[in-house]
Each structure stands twice: as structure tokens, then as C-alpha cells.
């Protein structure tokens, strides 16, 4: 499994918003600017055919209209979206807002499938969806990919909750929300990740959704088990 960090930042800094590319065709989240970010990294987003959306905040799905429009011009018009049940409506509304005269064409041209299952298989991986706690934004999900006895998790935006602990307890790598120095009821912080390391030390924690001051402290503290990625970094599992 090859995971490319497309974004490791929060909304308010120069780093791209949190998203990841798995192998060559799957994205976990598609924040505003993702298509541009991929082009800048030398990747044409039309090769993406599977997108897992953790939750429907703009910094996790707002590039859907640009991606869908691009797919109408691609040879591979398959789009598989894995998300919560309200996702089809939310994506449709975003496309309608962005390109009101092209909604029908876009929907006719692409080969679109939605999957709301709690677990599913995707390109040879077994994927399990975990409900996490992102304050008032409900539902919010994390995902765990499993292949060859290795497990890689993505928490999405979340406070420290029971399912984050479940993910940390089973994963070899956990790409996790660490927006703040101190966690809140919406986002985890360095204090939460330290607690997870104490309880589940076998796991490598790849922190993301970082505010600049959080990134600074993480770099200064240089904590073992925590990987602080830059946009474009690749982790092979
Ligand atoms: Zn969010
Ligand atoms: Zn977010």
C-alpha cells in the first residue's frame, strides 16, 4: 500500500487541507483545491475513480464539482463514492451550485456509484468504516484499510473517542487529526496522540489537519511514533 499525503494542513495555512491518495486511484477526502493540488504534484485527478469522504465539511469535499466535471472528459468515467447516506444529496447540491447548467450532462456522462456500507472491498483491500465524534458534524467517519495483515487507518476529523482508540489498537499506521496542541470536542491535539502512543505503542501516528503552531511544537518535541508529514510525502506500508 502506497499512501501519498496530498494535504497535511488545516484550512488556515499554506499547507493543503487534509487528504490522502492511496495507490494510484483512490482518495480519502477531496477538500477545496484538491484537483489543483494534484496537478501541481504531477498527478492528473482524472485517474482517481474511488473517493472516501469522511464527513461533509467543505475542507473535506468541496472539490467534488471540479472532479466530476473533469471525469466527463476522462476515458475512465467510473466514480465510486464511499460516504454517509446524505452524501449523494450533498454532492449533487455542490455540483448544482458550482455548474448549474451542466448538472444533467455531468450526471449523464459519468458512471457514478455510491456505497454506504459499513465495510466493503476496494481494490483488494478490505475497508471498515468507523463512526467518530466530530462535535456537531454528524455523522463523521474514519476508515481502516486492511491488506496482507497490515492495517492502515484514517481518522478524519474527530475528537478523541472510543472508535479512535479501536483504530489505534488495530492499526500499523494511523493517519490522524492533530489540529491543535490541546485536543477539543471537535479535533484531537498532541495531548490526545501522546495518550494513544502510551496505550497503543505499536502504531505509527501520521499527524495531519495541522495548525502551524501545532506543527512547530511537534517538530520541536520530535516524539517517537509520530510522523509529521509534508504535503507530497509518500508512506509505503
Ligand atoms: Zn470537519
Ligand atoms: Zn476538517
Distance 32 CA to ligand 2 centre (A): 11
Mean of all residue pLDDT scores within the chain: 97
| Spatial contact of 209 and 179, defined as CB atoms under 8 Å apart | yes
Burial pattern 117-133, b for ≥16 Cβ within 10 A else e, equals eeebebbebebbbbbbb
Distance 99 CA to ligand 1 centre (A): 24
Minimum-distance ligand to the CA of 137?
1
What end-to-end distance do the CA atoms of the chain give, in Å?
Answer: 5
Per DSSP, the residues of 86-145 read THHHHHHHHHHHH-TTTHHHHHHHSEEEEE--SEEEETTEEEEEEEEEETTEEEEEEEEE
Minimum-distance ligand to the CA of 177?
2
For the stretch 90-113, pLDDT in tens is: 999 999 999 999 999 999 999 999
Distance 175 CA to ligand 2 centre (A): 13
Distance 23 CA to ligand 2 centre (A): 23
For the stretch 139-190, pLDDT in tens is: 999 999 999 899 999 999 999 999 999 999 999 999 999 999 999 999 999 9
For range 197-206, the mean pLDDT: 98
Residue 161 has a pLDDT of 98
Residue 77 has a pLDDT of 97
For range 126-144, the mean pLDDT: 98
Whether the CA torsion 84, 127, 37, 79 is positive or negative: it is: negative
Residue 80 has a pLDDT of 98
**Integer CA distances (angstroms), 179 to 15, 157, 211, 223, in order:** 13, 9, 5, 16
Question: CA 58, CA 67: separation in Å to the nearest integer?
Answer: 14
Question: CA 151, CA 129: separation in Å to the nearest integer?
Answer: 13
For the stretch 63-91, pLDDT in tens is: 999 999 999 999 999 999 999 999 999 99
SS3 227: strand
Minimum-distance ligand to the CA of 32?
2
Helix, strand, coil percentages for the chain (3-state, nearest 5):
30, 30, 40
Question: CA 86, CA 157: separation in Å to the nearest integer?
Answer: 18
**Percent of residues, the chain, with pLDDT higher than 90:** 100
How, if at all, do strands 111-115 and 78-82 pair?
parallel
Residue 135 has a pLDDT of 98
CATH no. for residue 17? Answer: 3.60.15.10
**Percent of residues, the chain, with pLDDT higher than 70:** 100
Residue 185 has a pLDDT of 98
Burial pattern 75-110, b for ≥16 Cβ within 10 A else e, equals eeeebbbbbbeebeeebeebbeebeeebbeebeebb
Distance 187 CA to ligand 2 centre (A): 9
Distance 57 CA to ligand 1 centre (A): 5
Residue 111 has a pLDDT of 97
Question: CA 42, CA 29: separation in Å to the nearest integer?
Answer: 19
Distance 76 CA to ligand 1 centre (A): 30
pTM: 0.97
Minimum-distance ligand to the CA of 59?
2
Distance 66 CA to ligand 1 centre (A): 20
Total tally of structural domains belonging to the chain: 1
User: Which residues span the domain enclosing 119?
Assistant: 2-236
Residue 154 has a pLDDT of 98
Amino acid at each position: 500500500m502506497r499512501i501519498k499525503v496530498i494535504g497535511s494542513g488545516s484550512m488556515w495555512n499554506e499547507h493543503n487541507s487534509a487528504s490522502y491518495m492511496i495507490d494510484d486511484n483512490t482518495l480519502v477526502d477531496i477538500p477545496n483545491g484538491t484537483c489543483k493540488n494534484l496537478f501541481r504534484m504531477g498527478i492528473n485527478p482524472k485517474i482517481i475513480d474511488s473517493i472516501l469522504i469522511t464527513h461533509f465539511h467543505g475542507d473535506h469535499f468541496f472539490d467534488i464539482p471540479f472532479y466530476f466535471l473533469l471525469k466527463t472528459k476522462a476515458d475512465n468515467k467510473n466514480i465510486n463514492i464511499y460516504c454517509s447516506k446524505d452524501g449523494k444529496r450533498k454532492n449533487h447540491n455542490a455540483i448544482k451550485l458550482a455548474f448549474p447548467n451542466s448538472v444533467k450532462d455531468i450526471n449523464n456522462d459519468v458512471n457514478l456509484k455510491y456505497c454506504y456500507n459499513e465495510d466493503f472491498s476496494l481494490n483488494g483491500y478490505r475497508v471498515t468504516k468507523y463512526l467518530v465524534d466530530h462535535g456537531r458534524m454528524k455523522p463523521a467517519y474514519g476508515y481502516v484499510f486492511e491488506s496482507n495483515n497490515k492495517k492502515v487507518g484514517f481518522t478524519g476529523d474527530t475528537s478523541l473517542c472510543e472508535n479512535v482508540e479501536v483504530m489505534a489498537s488495530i492499526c500499523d499506521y494511523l493517519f490522524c487529526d492533530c489540529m491543535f496542541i490541546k485536543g477539543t470536542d471537535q479535533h484531537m491535539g498532541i495531548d490526545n496522540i501522546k495518550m494513544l502512543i502510551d496505550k497503543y505503542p505499536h502504531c505509527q501516528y501520521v499527524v495531519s489537519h495541522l495548525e502551524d503552531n501545532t506543527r512547530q511544537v511537534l517538530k520541536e518535541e520530535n516524539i517517537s511514533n509520530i510522523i509529521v508529514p509534508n504535503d507530497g510525502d509518500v508512506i509505503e506500508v
